[in-house]
Structure 1
Amino acid sequence: MRSLEIHGVDDLRVVERAQPEPGPGEVQIAVEWGGICGSDLAYWRHGVSGTATMRHPFVLGHEVSGRVSALGPGVDGFAVGLPVTVHPARTSGPLPERLAGRDNLHPDLTYLGSAARDPHTDGGFAERITVRAEQVVPLPDGLDTRRAVLAEPLGVAIHAVHRAGDVTGAHVLVSGCGPVGLLTILAVRAAGAARVSAVDLSPLARERALALGADVALDAAEQLGQDVTVAFEASGAPASLEAILRVVARAAVVVQAGNLPPAPVSVALGPIVSKEIDYRGTYRFVSEIEEAVELLARSELAEGVISHELDLADAGAAFTTAATDPHSSKVVLRLE
């Protein structure tokens, strides 16, 4: 079967691997779609994603959807041909009591397509993968596998909204309208926000934000009033965070959804004190991927996040498009 391996910086290879067979408690999935994430691009461009450093080749990808193709011993409740997506996280051992309900922070966690552990965890950019049965998320009626490839990043966005707390009736700011920012707009609107303002330097990104449900889309946060009570920084740019802290209302909640650079950054943090701003981190998700597939089934708006689709054989062009094309948003691979 074909798989997409990363061998080094700017070194992607479509290789033939033996097809994995499902063991006890496992499900084999025929992958149809894979979404290229910022972490995939980071391994390709730098050999590093966050604190994870690539030490040997492995298969990329953690945003996948497809159909059940085989069941391992002891697995029931799934039928061959069932359309599904996958929760990429796999944990082992008990979760510390103080982290109850926060499996995303489990000290012994592996994630599809990650170099955080050695040996690395192979990902989902392959024609067949096997995962634990509890990682398989069936798709609701009305949701096809192409749109379902957005379930993982939408789960990230929904978890960020949960980290913010109740947004009902709030004026919400989303700064940075890449795929996660756009999906945060969709998620926060579904959660009951009264008004959603988006900020991005790109005119095309602002157009997409409006299509996803933003009321206004601006090129600078300073153009907003002082009534923003919840904000999401989704670009990972220190300047974006600093602008948010300047414009949000007193006692606002600010959620850091974008990955900030691993090196020290310069941000004026004074408003956190003077306004008593609640600044919160958010990391991946817990079980929100199940909410994500339900929202994707109800709303076709998420289709606007997908900008390009290319075959697995054209993975190099797909990664280049995702990294450099100003018109790109979520770039997906066809693996059928």
Structure 2
Amino acid sequence: MIDSAIAATLFGPQDLRVIEHSLVPLAPGMVRVRFKAGGICGSDLHYFRHARTGDFVVTSPLILGHEISGEIVEIGGAVPGLGIGDHVAVNPSRWCGHCTRCAEGRANLCENIYFMGSASKTPHMQGGFASLFDATPAQCIKVPRHVAYQAAALAEPLAVSLHAVARAGEIRGRNIILFGAGPIGLLTMLAARFKGCGQIIVADIAEAPLAFAKKLGADRTIDLSGGDDRLQSLVVDKAIDIAFEISGTAAGLAAAIASVRRGGTVVQVGNLPGGQIPVPANAVMAKEIELKGTFRFGAEFNEAVDLIVGGNVDVLKLVTAEHTLSDAPAAFRLAADRARSVKVMLTTD
């Protein structure tokens, strides 16, 4: 019986250590998963840099990781549909299923949610960057053995992107702009394309991510590093129906509001800095813009797994590097360098 596991644990800003944790006996009705692959997310990087993401502040050691896949090695009792040795994509969300939001069909807004690798509650909810971790059966979605663990792990960010596209409303034939060409921005681009959107424009302040977006199929890219003058033609053309703010910056949100046409839609995907930020609210009013938030995902996780398994969205195109779990600090440093990486994956040792 294995009684310990190694885990990438955050103690403070840029203080990430791979340390050994004791394992408690598996609780009845739970599943123990051996980590196989995990993607480093933008929120993981915020935690790594600042020991916080948005308003969620790390106040005690936190195991990071919520884009994860693995192999079932132990089951606490009878769990129909799952068996030892199954390959699974792990949904980091544990929804209660009985609160008002769950009853409304908005499980992503569950009032009692447990979300792996998050400091939104105290005690913190530990994540999946651990050689062994526990999950509920409902979190474990079986995938065929031919599907790479790395692809299965990326079901989570694809689900985030699918939910963002769903929040935008009718997208078929609509022209869109995405502010932020990181992994979520690129996956939102792929999700929007799959759902039948019109022209896709991607804006960012870094050359390398924009080149990657072009490679993945963006119709046009805009480099905003020298200012937003190139956005003015979009405003004049009145051509942008939907803008996705994914950069997580106040400037990105302002640009999204400025660039979308009158009566258009802005979807805030990025996690903005904590506290109060300036927003051009008069433009929201005068242009009668629909400004929508999007938070995590609901049923889109299963949809994302199906799209990956079916080959409809090739998420592995985003992977630019892999490091073993024991080398997590180096992997995080690489992931933080946008000039050298898009999506960095952790894999089993």
Please classify the TM superposition score into its range, dividing by the shorter chain length: over 0.9
Alignment check: 8 A CA contact 2:117 2:125 kept = yes
SS of equivalent residue, structure 1 residue 324: coil
Deviation sequence 1:118-155 (CA, Å, 0-9, x none):
22111101111111101111225753111122111111
User: Percent sequence identity over matched residues?
Assistant: 38
SS of equivalent residue, structure 2 residue 74: strand
Aligned counterpart for 1:240 among listed residues 240, 249, 252:
252
Aligned counterpart for 1:266 among listed residues 257, 278, 281:
278
1:91 aligns with 2:103: no
SS of equivalent residue, structure 1 residue 296: helix
Aligned to 2:228: none
SS of equivalent residue, structure 1 residue 16: strand
Report the Cα distance in structure 1 between the residues aligned to 2:326 and 2:30, rounded to whole angstroms.
28
SS of equivalent residue, structure 1 residue 258: coil
1:118 and 1:164, CA in 2 relative to 1: closer, same or farther beyond 3 A?
same
Aligned to 1:222: 232
Aligned counterpart for 1:80 among listed residues 81, 84, 98:
84
Aligned to 1:178: 182
Aligned to 1:283: 295
1:328 aligns with 2:326: no
Alignment check: 8 A CA contact 1:252 1:277 kept = yes
Report the Cα distance in structure 1 between the residues aligned to 2:256 and 2:269, rounded to whole angstroms.
13
SS of equivalent residue, structure 2 residue 22: coil
Question: Letter of the aligned partner of 1:261 in structure 2?
Answer: P
Question: Letter of the aligned partner of 1:305 in structure 2?
Answer: L
Question: Letter of the aligned partner of 1:321 in structure 2?
Answer: L
Aligned counterpart for 1:12 among listed residues 10, 16, 21:
16
SS of equivalent residue, structure 1 residue 290: helix
1:39 aligns with 2:43: yes
Aligned to 1:317: 330
> How far apart are 1:286 and its partner, in Å?
0.8
SS of equivalent residue, structure 2 residue 120: coil
The size of the alignment, in residue pairs, is 336
Report the Cα distance in structure 2 between the residues aligned to 1:196 and 1:141, rounded to whole angstroms.
34
> How far apart are 1:284 and its partner, in Å?
0.5
Aligned to 2:147: 143
TM-score by length of 1: 0.94
Alignment check: 8 A CA contact 2:53 2:274 kept = no
SS of equivalent residue, structure 1 residue 294: helix
Deviation sequence 1:65-91 (CA, Å, 0-9, x none):
111222210212112222211111113
1:281 and 1:83, CA in 2 relative to 1: closer, same or farther beyond 3 A?
same
- Which segment drifts farther, 155-164 or 298-307? 298-307
Question: Letter of the aligned partner of 1:67 in structure 2?
Answer: E
SS of equivalent residue, structure 2 residue 336: helix
SS of equivalent residue, structure 1 residue 69: strand
Report the Cα distance in structure 2 between the residues aligned to 1:235 and 1:288, rounded to whole angstroms.
22
Please report the RMSD computed on the Cα atoms of aligned residues, expressed in angstroms.
1.9
SS of equivalent residue, structure 1 residue 244: helix
Report the Cα distance in structure 1 between the residues aligned to 2:233 and 2:147, rounded to whole angstroms.
38
1:293 aligns with 2:305: yes
Aligned to 2:214: 210
TM-score by length of 2: 0.90
Report the Cα distance in structure 2 between the residues aligned to 1:203 and 1:117, rounded to whole angstroms.
37
1:253 aligns with 2:257: no
- Which segment drifts farther, 110-119 or 139-148? 139-148
Question: Letter of the aligned partner of 2:292 in structure 1?
Answer: R
SS of equivalent residue, structure 1 residue 260: coil
Report the Cα distance in structure 2 between the residues aligned to 1:324 and 1:98, rounded to whole angstroms.
38
Gaps (5+ residues) in structure 1? none
Report the Cα distance in structure 2 between the residues aligned to 1:28 and 1:98, rounded to whole angstroms.
26
- Which segment drifts farther, 56-65 or 8-17? 8-17
Gaps (5+ residues) in structure 2? 225-230
Alignment check: 8 A CA contact 2:190 2:313 kept = no
Question: Letter of the aligned partner of 1:53 in structure 2?
Answer: V
